[in-house]
Chain A
């Protein structure tokens, strides 16, 4: 069965803290994505990666960075968390050919 696993379901951090969100997929997918989901704004793409050590900015990359050192793992980093980064973060992966997204369960981040 296809699986995308996000390391933390719920996190509470303070303003200015560094935050790491980890995502692992077991499907040998080339593409991996980080989205954030906010009420009334839908899913917005933060960053994506189509290969190891490759990354591309999405629609809202400001305040975020990513790392992909291994094919199965894609990390989202908030260098200095701010309250407007309180959100649900969804990781997804897909085959390059199909584009069908497989999502993780999500990480709900609260920044105080």
Chain B
């Protein structure tokens, strides 16, 4: 089975750095995705990790440790538009992904 845990809510201040954690226990692992979802919109792809280590893309970075079943999404220089839900998803077999419940991030001025 799949068990993916991430915090339900987080709050941070504009300009700050925030780290959103995701832990997983899955029967098959072929990579981990992070998606961003603004209220009322569809999720959109942010990052993908298949090997251990840090992937950096502008203000966003994602880290993976396969031995620990752990990933985090790091958002730097927070902006108001970063207020959204952040979804951690594990890619299993046959290309299907299982999602955590999502973390709702609120950025305050």
Given contacts A31-B95, A43-B99, A50-B95, contact A99 B31 (CB under 8 A): yes
Judge if B7 is at the interface, Cβ distance under 8 Å.
no
Whether B96 contacts A42 by the Cβ 8 Å rule is no
A40, closest chain B residue (CB): B101
Which of chain A's residues has its CB closest to B100's CB? A42
A94 to chain B: which residues have CB within 8 Å? 95
A110-B35 Cα distance, complex, nearest whole Å: 26
A12 at the interface (CB under 8 A from B): no
Give the residue name and chain of the A residue nearest to B44 (CB).
A103
Q: Count chain B residues whose beta carbon lies closer than 8 angstroms to a beta carbon of A.
A: 22
Neighbouring B residues of A48 by C-beta, 8 Å: 94, 96
Q: A25 CB to closest chain B CB, in angstroms?
A: 13
Question: Any chain A CB within 8 A of the CB of B24?
Answer: no
Give the distance to chain A from B30, nearest Cβ to Cβ, in Å. 7
1/0 contact string of B31-68 vs chain A (CB within 8 Å): 10101000001111100100000000000000000000
Interface residues, chain A, CB within 8 Å of chain B?
30-31, 33, 35, 40-45, 48, 50, 56, 58-59, 90, 94, 96, 98-106
Q: CB within 8 Å of A: which residues of B?
A: 30-31, 33, 35, 41-45, 48, 87, 89, 91, 94-102
4 A-B pairs closest in CB distance:
A42-B101, A103-B42, A43-B99, A99-B91
Further contacts, 15 of them, CB under 8 A, given A33-B96, A45-B97, A100-B45: A40-B101, A42-B87, A42-B102, A43-B87, A43-B89, A43-B99, A43-B102, A45-B96, A50-B94, A59-B98, A99-B97, A100-B33, A101-B35, A101-B89, A101-B97
